[in-house]
Every structure is written in C-alpha cells, then in structure tokens.
Structure 1
Amino acid sequence: MEPETVQQTPVPAKHIKTKVGRVVGDKMLKTIVVAVESQRRHPLYNKRVRQTRNFKVHDETNSAHVGDIVRIVESRPYSKQKRWRLDAILQRGEEIKVEA
C-alpha cells in the first residue's frame, strides 16, 4: 500500500490592521497617545473633511516621544482603552524646548 499524500493549501496570513500617526502624548508609563488623521467625503457637500482620532498605544520601552511619526498595529487588549501596539518609529520629531 502506498501512503496517501494529502495536498495542503497554504493558509492565508491573518490581516493585521496598521495605522500611521503622530505621537501627541507620552506622559503615561508604557503608553503613548497617537493621533491618526484620515479624510472622508461629506455626504451632502462632497467636500473632503479631515478627521482625527486618538489611539492609546502600548510602548513597552518608552522609546517614542511627542512629535514622532509612528506605525501602530492592532493587538490584544492591554487595558480598558489600549488595543494597539507600537510597531516602528518611522521619523523622529523635533524636540521643542519650553522655557518657563
């Protein structure tokens, strides 16, 4: 008897949501706030309207700072509001010094 060969089809990779945004807050421990901007068309006036959403993102190493452009990926829930994880810092922002 010959052993049966079963032909396996490759399993497609799970689609992971990613977003690119700017860090607007880094005061919390291991958490940053990322503003993601998107555009949509107004249904009545057909004008493009900018929408900004803030996401709380898990940053394990506290490496991102305010002004950085970052890529975030959807992940498991870290807390009540954190559902995203820092994937990469794409561009470092300029440090703004405030004199008191």
Structure 2
Amino acid sequence: MRTKKGVVTSAKMQGTVTVTVHRLVFHPVYKKRYRKSKKFLCNPGELDLYPGDVVIISEGKPISKKKRFTVTEIVKAAPRVDEMKEDDAVEKVIHREKKGADEEAKAKSKKVTEGAEGTEVDNTSDTSETSEASVPSQE
C-alpha cells in the first residue's frame, strides 16, 4: 500500500478532498532538481479537513472513477476560520477603541482651531476699521 504526504488544496466537495503532493525530480541533462506536483482526489473518511492541512494519504481500492486514495492521518492542521473570526472580532474592538481616541483628538483640535479662528476674526475686524479710516468720506 503506497502512502504519500501532501497538502489539502480543496475541501469544497462532499466526501472528497483534493490533496496536492509535491516531489523533487532530478533532470538528467541539466543536473538540477525541480519540483513536480500532482493532485489526488481522496476520501477524507471521518476526518474534518480544511485547505492547508498537511495529511498522509494511502492508496486503496477504487472508490469512484478518479478517487483511489484515503486520508489516513493529519500531520499538521492549518489555522481554522473560526480562530480567524475571533481575531477579526478582537481587531474590530481595537479599531473601535482607536477610532474613539481619534475622534477625541479631532474634537480637541477643533476646539483649538475654533479658538484660533476667533482671534483671526478679531484681527479682521481691526483691519476693516483701518480700511474704513483710509477711505475718504464722500461728504
């Protein structure tokens, strides 16, 4: 019974997962190694698999036209979506706190700006008085 180690690339089908197996091949002319990959359709059995899981598959009797392998064990599980959602929720809370702090800072800067604009208004009123004095009256 042949066994291979690969990565789950798709788990969207019912009762079937796609496992990609990579292998290194030595080129006879160029004397270099290069990577080849092949996708296998596998029966997951009772295992709950997600994309990114590293698994070991073993060959057995044909299950369907293209399915010949069964997942025997999970070597390394990928991070689950539920964990990511929890992280996103934490980030949202942090973002809200940061947003609230930003709004407070904007409110403080508006108060400072309004105070500065108030002094500018006083300066313009002084300028208007001087401009009225410089304009000759038509009497």
Give yes or no for contact 1:20–1:70 (8 Å, CA) kept in 2: yes
Query: 1:93 maps to what in 2?
Result: 78
Name the CA distance, whole Å, in 1 between partners of 2:79 and 2:38. 22
Name the CA distance, whole Å, in 2 between partners of 1:86 and 1:33. 10
Q: TM-score, normalised by structure 1?
A: 0.77
Instruction: Describe how 1:64-83 pairs up with structure 2 within 5 A.
Output: 64-83=49-68
Runs of 4+ in 1 over 6 A off after TM superposition: none
Seq. identity, %: 33
What's the CA shift for 1:43?
A: 1.5
The amino acid that maps onto 1:37 is: H
Q: Secondary structure at the match of 1:84?
A: strand
Name the CA distance, whole Å, in 2 between partners of 1:65 and 1:38. 22
Where do 5+ consecutive residues of structure 2 fail to align?
85-139
1:43 equivalenced with 2:25 (yes/no): no
Query: 1:13 maps to what in 2?
Result: none
> Of 45, 51, 64, which aligns to 1:60?
45
> Of 15, 18, 24, which aligns to 1:33?
18
Would you tell me which structure has more strand in proportion to its own residues?
1
If you compute each CA radius of gyration, which structure gives the higher value, 1 or 2? 2
Where do 5+ consecutive residues of structure 1 fail to align?
1-15
Q: Which has the higher contact order (CA 8 A, sep 6+)?
A: 1
| Cα deviation digits, residues 33-53 of structure 1 (max 9, x gap) | 000000011121010010011
- Would you say how many aligned residue pairs link Structure 1 and Structure 2? 84
The alignment yields a C-alpha RMSD, in angstroms, of 1.8
Name the CA distance, whole Å, in 1 between partners of 2:14 and 2:45. 9
Name the CA distance, whole Å, in 1 between partners of 2:46 and 2:24. 31
